[in-house]
Copies of this chain bind each other. A is one copy, B any other.
Amino acid sequence: MKPVAVDAMGGDQAPGEIVAGARRAAEEHGVPVLLVGRPDAIAAAGGGDLEVLACDEVIDMHDDPGASVRRKKDASVVRAAEAVRDGTASAMISAGNTGAAMASALLRMGRIRGVHRPAIATPIPVPGSIPTVLLDAGANVECHPSWLVQFAQMGCVYARSRYGLDEPRVGLLSVGEEASKGNPLVKEAHALLEDPAWRKASGGTFVGNVEGRDVMSADVDVVVTDGFTGNVVLKTLEGGMRFVERALLEVMTATDELRAAFEVMWPALMPLVNELDPDTYGGAMLLGVNGVCIISHGSSSATAVVNALAVAQEMVEADLVGSLVKAVSP
């Protein structure tokens, strides 16, 4: 397998945590990696003898995605996408500016033939069960009904490749279970999803509308929505979980007696805390471009990078892109 191109300069904790994660993935898990960025910064961050694709520019969190990708042709995230296009790398990951990662992947790799719009698919943790795949989690703030149908197809392919589900259950996010509930986008998409034609090579089952409370449940495998709603849902859950975690921790360590009880509990709680941590899931997948592209959380730690690289390797080996091509081909 060709190495996975890692945008070493992207992320709140880049290059330190990114490079550290790439090293761990390479040394402990045997994932081939190609670090993309400034050689001096990568060396200073402990890149060691990992392969480096040298480039000089960086797109930061506040740069305008479209404009910066067009202007900064030597930016690490752009070069990472080019490496996939050119066949030097088998996949790319970036924890930097999400818009710039999407634009780089789209402009350099191109979209799969027949894809209306690429979508961001994010696994939502469901304690005790496999995660729910939420898409679109932010690539397209405005959508046409037919795009949502294609998101459903791509989500099914991803859920099958990643979680081994034979026939993923797809729900359409709305404000009530009845087909009559929702805005015009949802109502039209609902009608289209009821037509079994959309299943084609993707092979999922449409279970109807689902509500916000179903996102974090084991009742559905893929939740389809527009990128505005999906992004709000994702961040609402992330914020809510973090807030509750902090509040719990504060309560549980407020007195000596509570701290003693907390110490007994911590080893048992740890797996649940990990399960709810976005770093565990290896980031979001941009589905619909001509290559595996993982967009990790801006706050990604080395552990998040290790997990993202494991997912990238797995999706390359499972030929996710080939399956997507087959599912959406016109």
Contact = CB atoms under 8 A, between A and B. Distances in A.
B272 A265 contact: no
B232 A141 contact: no
Copies in the complex: 2
A183 B226 CA distance: 11
A234 B240 CA distance: 11
Interface in A225-243: 225, 227-229, 231-243
Interface string A254-275: 1101101110110011011000
Contacts of A227: 175
Contact of A215 (B142, B239, B241, B260): B239
A244 B175 contact: no
A127 interface: yes
Could you tell me the dominant secondary structure of chain A's interface residues?
A: helix
Contact of A183 (B142, B217, B243): B142
Contacts of A265: 251-252, 258, 261-262, 265
Given A232-B232, A233-B232, A268 B258 contact: yes
A104 B212 CA distance: 26
B228 A182 contact: yes
A127 B235 contact: no
11 contacts: A126-B243, A174-B232, A212-B234, A212-B237, A215-B240, A216-B240, A229-B229, A233-B236, A248-B248, A248-B269, A257-B264
Interface of A: 126-128, 138, 141-142, 173-175, 182-184, 186, 211-217, 225, 227-229, 231-244, 247-248, 251-252, 254-255, 257-258, 260-262, 264-265, 268-269, 271-272, 276
